[in-house]
Amino acid sequence: MFIEKISGPVIGAIIGYCTNYIAVKMLFYPRKEIYVMGHKLPFTPGAIPKGKNRLAKAIGGVISNTLLTEKDIEEKLLSSELENVVVDKMMKILSTDLRSLFMKMSLSEEEYENVKENLAHNLTDRVLASVQNLQLEEVITREGSRIIKEKTDGTMLALFVSDELVASILHPFGAEFVKYIEVNGGDLMKPEIESQITSLESESIVELCGKMAKEEDWFREKIVAVYHNAVELAAGNVMKHINITGIVEDKINSMPVEDLENLVLSVMKKELDTIVNLGALVGALLGIFNMIF
């Protein structure tokens, strides 16, 4: 009598459990189409293998349009937490001495020396060009005349030192000096410029800014401003060139069904188990309801 009473709920629970268990398994199985006598069996392959492409496209669309938008990325990049991490890293890099900074660019010792040589050569050419633009011949004549007049003023020599005489002496001297600079100026300047470049090797960009009466906090503020401008300008372009929908879609489509199953189960195993168990509960309740009425 007791067995007859509980048989209904027990059988209902077993049927409900098995039915939901099979339904859950049919989400993933069979993984391929099954044919019998040339006819494809219904519900093959399983729901997820059959709709894999559609699922991949839907997930990619949800991620790019809802979960990971351009605004989300920009807000994350501009968050104080990430901003501090990036700026701290930049400050650390820019606080490194210049030699070490260049060597971190995967330069060999020979390449580094070539960079120094090219820099010294270019600076020498620029400085020499600037000196030549000063019109030294006129400067020497003008300033030389002024100095001679000041030194001889009030003396007997002032009677003999005329503007024409001074100009006749200084003008040729200035012309020869300019020619000398044109020919030998580079050789004279380059060793000093190389020496100055070498002396700067042990200093960092932050230290050099400090010599310009700029505190480290000022330098940090400038880096923050540059970082904000870069993020605001680049976020949109980055999102246009990075097709998140396509990346996710291709990734899921290229996954074996087994890996896709493991991925789904890693996220929803508890929920799927709950559905199976609810099938047993509903079956038992129906068995009890049937027994009572």
Q: Compute the chain's Rg from CA coordinates.
A: 42
For residue range 51-106, what is the model confidence (pLDDT) as tens digits?
A: 778 878 887 777 777 777 777 777 777 788 888 888 888 877 777 777 777 777 76
Q: Which among 195, 219, 220, 192 is positioned nearest to 208, based on CA atoms? A: 219
Q: What is the pLDDT of residue 211?
A: 64
Q: What is the pLDDT of residue 246?
A: 79
pTM of the predicted protein model:
0.46
Residues in the chain with pLDDT values less than 50: none
Q: What is the pLDDT of residue 239?
A: 66
CA distance 18 to 7: 16
Q: What is the pLDDT of residue 261?
A: 76
CA distance 277 to 17: 6
Q: What is the pLDDT of residue 3?
A: 63
For residue range 193-216, what is the model confidence (pLDDT) as tens digits?
A: 888 888 877 777 777 776 665 666
Q: Is the dihedral of CA 86, 91, 96, 101 positive or negative?
A: positive
Q: What is the pLDDT of residue 115?
A: 83
Name the percent of the chain lying above pLDDT 90: 0
Tokens of 150: 């000041």
* Backbone dihedral angles phi then psi of residue 105, each to the nearest 5 degrees: -85, 20
CA angle 65, 76, 66 (to 5 degrees): 15
Q: What is the pLDDT of residue 236?
A: 66
Helix (H, G, I), strand (E, B) or coil at 40: strand
Kindly compute the dihedral angle of the four CA atoms of residues 130, 132, 134, 135, in this order, to the nearest 10 degrees.
-170
Cα of 64 vs its chain's centroid, Å? 20
